[in-house]
Amino acid sequence: MKVVILAGGFGTRISEESHLRPKPMIEIGEKPILWHIMKIYSYYGYNEFVICLGYKGYMIKEYFSQYYLHESDVTFDFRSSNQAIVHNHHAEPWVVTLINTGLETQTGGRILRSRPYLGDEPFMLTYGDGVANIDINNLVHFHRSHEKFATITSVQPAGRFGALTLEGNLVTGFKEKTDSKNAWINGGFFVFQPEVFDYLKDDQTYLEREPLEKLSCDGQLMSYRHQGFWQSMDTMRDRTLLENLWQTGRAPWRLWS
């Protein structure tokens, strides 16, 4: 199962960093948060990624084009052979497809543009700015068990976000932003059947609006409740929190050794 990562937004709420680079390339522990997200999936054996690019997408392409070199020891011999000799190389077992999905394209439109790279198979999807200690295998098992078109991971952070209306694990609607500590919200980490593409119209489609609402109305959207750690990186305060967790060895999303 391939993993689609939305990495094309402008990141306006963290403009202190995003005016220089796309939000998924903002670093936590000297690694882009995009790398952290990919490591979560890779820990569970999901190593094929389709990354949807937009704003400053060339920086993400450059990062992966040089990834092997950056992760290795290397000798540059300018004196005789003018060659690079790689030592003690290390690379992740990843297959990474980077696609240009447009500067102004919305989330649903970016997913629609990724369709040629996914085939007629189920796929996973998440945002390029959030980490969690979610058990991906349990998420996939839950999705397969209910036989609906879509699974959304719901989490319970404090305020700032629109809430889901749930009947058991069935998503029946959406609410505006709430300050309730008991509210369940969209945490990303989706699993989709290919039928979800039928709910996406064009570049200006927001996944979080009509598609998810229509899936909910059709009884095709289920909620996987994640009660562990989850944190998005919307602001510099969020980035500082994640950086402090990483530097003190208390990053809950670091499942790998």
Backbone phi, then psi, for 215, in 5-degree steps?
A: -60, -40
Structural domain includes residue 103: yes
Quick: pLDDT tens for 76-133.
Answer: 999 888 888 888 877 899 999 999 999 999 999 999 999 999 999 999 999 999 999 9
For the chain, the domain total comes to 1
**CATH number for the domain harbouring residue 201:** 3.90.550.10
Residue 178: pLDDT band by 50, 70, 90 thresholds? Answer: low
In this prediction, residue 173 carries a pLDDT of: 84
Structural domain includes residue 230: yes
Q: Is 107 left (phi over 0), alpha (psi -120 to 50) or beta?
A: alpha
Structural domain includes residue 28: yes
Average pLDDT over residues 190-211: 97
In this prediction, residue 123 carries a pLDDT of: 98
Helix H or strand E segment including 192: strand 190-192
Are 48 and 124 a contacting pair, CB within 8 Å?
no
Structural domain includes residue 257: no
Is the pTM above the cut of 0.85? yes
Are 136 and 40 a contacting pair, CB within 8 Å?
yes
Query: Residue 162 belongs to what domain range?
Result: 2-247
Are 157 and 185 a contacting pair, CB within 8 Å?
yes
pLDDT above 90 covers a percentage of the chain that reads 79
Structural domain includes residue 128: yes
Helix H or strand E segment including 83: strand 83-87
What is the rounded CA–CA span in Å between residue 180 and residue 192?
28
Structural domain includes residue 119: yes
Structural domain includes residue 70: yes
Structural domain includes residue 193: yes
Handedness of CA 116, 118, 123, 125 (dihedral sign): negative
pLDDT above 70 covers a percentage of the chain that reads 96
Q: Per mean pLDDT, which range of 68-82, 103-117, 143-157, 232-246 is the poorest?
A: 68-82
Backbone phi, then psi, for 217, in 5-degree steps?
A: -60, -35
